[in-house]
A and B are shown apart, each in its own frame.
Chain A
Amino acid sequence: MAMAALRREGRRLAPLISPRTITAVRSSPLYPTLEDEGPLGVRHISTQVVRNRMKSVKNIQKITKAMKMVAASKLRAIQTKTENSRGLWQPFTALLGDLPSADVKKNVVVTISSDKGLCGGINSTSVKISKGLHKLNSGPEKETKYVILGEKAKAQLVRDSKKDIELIITELQKNPLNYTQVSVLADEILKNVEYDALRIVFNKFQSVVSFVPTVSTVLSTEIVEREAESGGKLVDLDSYEVEGGETKGEILQNLAEFQFSCTMFNAVLENACSEQGARMSAMDSSSRNAGDMLDRLTLTYNRTRQASITTELIEIISGASALEG
């Protein structure tokens, strides 16, 4: 109360006493000074900086909370589809086996990643595994090529493995994922890339907080026969009679292609689920961090405000006592 009264007094006297012109140089909005100029040239500590920071942190918190909810709803939509698609590749694996240790000359690594960011570390893990596979499978006669799905993996792999990339496909999730789209994609890959073994790298969705990087291997028919004959873990395809078609080879070729497209479908869905789940947890921790930051800033703001009030009081009181005494 006393302060307000003194302020009014100050304002009344200001045009007589103030040595500076009214149009004093104001600090530019880009570089706010920590000192405000009040009437009579009184300077007190400004809380403007802290207030601006608090506003922007609060906005960030709102945005990340909204992003988390959006990701949660997208996850729910896609999760049932993914669980249903898991049954697809199981008979193929039961019959033909999944043999990641198959030693082949022409490897193709299909890396599945997301187009958008802010989804935690899932894309980096996929790329790390793809690079690991590449290293594992390069040797004197062996070669490994990449097929990339998604912008994020493209950005990381183009930097150092540009010559090994065969195909890049982006904007997969523009339309909701369905089998027709994936089968066209699989067709493109099978047509344009020579392969003995296709290794699909994706993140398998185990739960909302757990995504496991996985590699699914699809072998071409010649390799399957070679492995079966050598008495490996694959069941002997010869024990199965093959009906229809001209030759057994033709049917088995169709089988391998169908297997690839089914596995791809499942992989793409699982990766999409993992992406949404990872985004949920990333945005959740981000909003929690923003909340913590906001608490700290509020404390700083209050401290600054109280300090400036105290300083003003001290100045006024000492001024008043100087006048009296």
Chain B
Amino acid sequence: MFLFLQPPLTRSHRTVRRGIVRRYEVDMVIVPATTGQMGVLPGHVATIAEFKPGVLSVHEGSETTKYFVSSGFVFIHANSFADIITVKAVPLDRINANLVQKRLVDFTQKLS
């Protein structure tokens, strides 16, 4: 969604793990905040939000890229810039669902 008369949302995404810094101009970002899924659009009010591990989706025109992110923070500034800082961000297509299930079972066993 492109709001007229507002600059498009510029989003810079920084992660600790692979240390990627990417700046995009996007239309919308959906962030897994601790209070639930939060949609960030251009012109969003300035906010600091913490997020829990979840799926981050970036909408650019008709394309959507999804990432799995571990916890972190998102700062939304008044000039439609958003900074997303996480420890880990993995594009969803690199995640192998079976491996994840197996690991989940392993670790739950180790915990209990």
Are A and B a genuine interacting pair, yes or no?
A: yes
Chain A interface residues toward B at CB < 8 A: 81, 83-85, 87-88, 90-92, 94-95, 179, 237, 239-245, 251-252, 254-255, 258, 262, 265
Determine whether B98 belongs to the interface, using a CB cutoff of 8 Å to chain A: no
- A207 → chain B closest CB, angstroms: 19
**Interface of B: prevailing SS:** strand
Contact A179 B17 (CB under 8 A): yes
The residues of B that contact A239 with a CB separation of less than 8 Å are 46, 78
Residue of A nearest to B35 (CB): A244
- How many residue pairs, one in A and one in B, have C-beta atoms under 8 Å apart? 77
Asked, given contacts A88-B14, A179-B16, A255-B73, whether A245 binds B50 with beta carbons under 8 Å apart, the answer is yes
CB distance from A183 to the nearest CB of B (A): 8
Name A243's contact: one of B17, B35, B83 (CB within 8 Å): B35
Which residues of B are in contact with A by a Cβ distance under 8 Å? 12, 14, 16-21, 33-35, 38, 45-51, 72-73, 75, 77-78, 83, 85, 87
Closest to B44 in A: A241
Inter-chain contacts of B45 with A (CB < 8 A): 241
B48 near A91 with CB under 8 A, answer no
Identify the closest chain B residue to A243 (Cβ): B49
Residues B46 and A241 in contact, CB atoms below 8 Å apart: yes
CB <8 Å contact, A240 and B14: no
Contact of A179 among B35, B46, B87 (CB under 8 A): B87
* B47 close to A84 (CB less than 8 A): no
Q: A255 and B48: CB pair below 8 A?
A: yes
25 contacts between A and B (CB under 8 A): A84-B20, A87-B19, A87-B21, A88-B85, A95-B77, A237-B48, A239-B78, A240-B75, A241-B46, A242-B47, A242-B48, A243-B33, A243-B38, A243-B48, A243-B49, A244-B33, A244-B34, A244-B35, A245-B34, A245-B50, A251-B49, A251-B50, A254-B50, A255-B50, A258-B85
Q: Which chain A residues border B78 with CB–CB below 8 Å?
A: 239
User: In the complex, what residues of A have CB within 8 A of residue B33's CB?
Assistant: 243-244
Bound: A240/B79 CA distance, A: 12
B14, B49, B85: the one contacting A244 at CB < 8 Å is B49
Q: Point out which of A81, A91, A255 has the most chain B C-beta atoms below 10 A from its C-beta.
A: A91
Least CB separation from B82: chain A residue: A91
B34 & A84 in contact (Cβ 8 Å cutoff): no
Nearest chain B CB to A206's CB is how many angstroms away?
A: 18
Which residues of the partner chain B approach A242 to less than 8 Å between Cβ atoms? Answer: 47-49
CB-CB < 8 A to B14: which residues of A? Answer: 87-88, 90-91
The answer to whether A95 and B75 touch across the interface, beta carbons within 8 angstroms, is yes
Smallest Cβ distance from A150 to chain B, in angstroms? 22
Q: How far is the CA of A83 from the CA of B77 in the complex (A)?
A: 25
Chain B residues positioned under 8 Å from A251 (CB to CB)? 48-50
Is B16 a contact partner of A262 (Cβ separation < 8 A)?
Answer: yes
Closest to A242 in B: B48
Q: How far is the CB of B34 from chain A (nearest CB, A)?
A: 4
B98 smallest CB distance to A (angstroms): 25
Smallest CB-CB separation from A179: which chain B residue?
A: B16
Chain B neighbourhood of A258, CB < 8 A: 72-73, 85
